[in-house]
Structure 1
Amino acid sequence: MKIENCVAIVTGGNRGIGLGFVEELLDHGARRVYIGSRDKEDGEQIAARDPDRLKAIQLDVTDADQVRVAASACSDVTLLVNNAGMFVNERLYKTDDPDAARREMEVNFFGLLSMTRAFAPVIESNGGGAVVNVLSAGAIVGVPNMGGYSPSKFAARAASDCLRAELAPMNVGVTALIVGSVETRMSEHVKVKKSQPRDIGKAGLWAVAHNVAEHDTDPHSVAVRANLARDPAGLAAAMAARLDA
Structure 2
Amino acid sequence: MKIAGITAFVTGANGDIGQYYIEALRDLGAARIYAAARKTSALQDIVAGDRDRIIPIALDITDESSVKAAVKECQEVSLLVNNAGIGLRQGFISPQDLSAARGEMEVNYFGTLNMCRAFAPILKNNGGGAIVNMISILGRVNFPFNASYGASKAAAFLMTQGIRAELAAQNTLVVGVLPGTVDTPGSHDFPPPKVSPQAVAREALQGVIDGVEDVYPGEQAKEMEAQLRSEPKALEKAMGAMLSK
Q: Secondary structure at the match of 1:101?
A: helix
CA distance in 2 between partners of 1:165 and 1:234 (Å): 31
Please report the TM-score for the alignment, with normalisation by the length of structure 2.
0.96
Report sequence identity in percent.
39
- Structure 2: gaps (5+ residues): none
2:111 matched to 1:111? yes
Match of 2:145 in 1: 145
- The Cα offsets for residues 107-158 of structure 1, whole Å up to 9 and x where unpaired, read as 1110110000011111111222000001101011122221211011111110
Match of 2:192 in 1: 192
Q: Check conservation: 2:193, 2:219, Cα contact below 8 A.
A: no
- The Cα offsets for residues 171-205 of structure 1, whole Å up to 9 and x where unpaired, read as 21101011111112332332212221110111011
CA distance in 1 between partners of 2:84 and 2:189 (Å): 19
Match of 1:6 in 2: 6
Match of 1:92 in 2: 92
Query: Any residues of structure 2 matched to 1:18-97 within 5 Å, and which?
Result: 18-97=18-97
- The Cα offsets for residues 45-97 of structure 1, whole Å up to 9 and x where unpaired, read as 21111000001111111111111111111111100001111101111111134
CA distance in 2 between partners of 1:58 and 1:116 (Å): 17
Q: Secondary structure at the match of 2:14?
A: coil
> How many residues align structurally?
245
Change in Cα spacing, 1:53 to 1:228, as seen in structure 2 (3 Å) is same
CA distance in 2 between partners of 1:164 and 1:137 (Å): 18
Q: Check conservation: 1:87, 1:186, Cα contact below 8 A.
A: no
Q: Check conservation: 1:90, 1:97, Cα contact below 8 A.
A: no
CA distance in 2 between partners of 1:152 and 1:177 (Å): 14
Match of 2:227 in 1: 227
CA distance in 2 between partners of 1:25 and 1:97 (Å): 40
Letter in 2 for 1:184: T
- The Cα offsets for residues 18-69 of structure 1, whole Å up to 9 and x where unpaired, read as 1111100000000011111112111132111100000111111111111111
Q: Check conservation: 1:44, 1:55, Cα contact below 8 A.
A: no
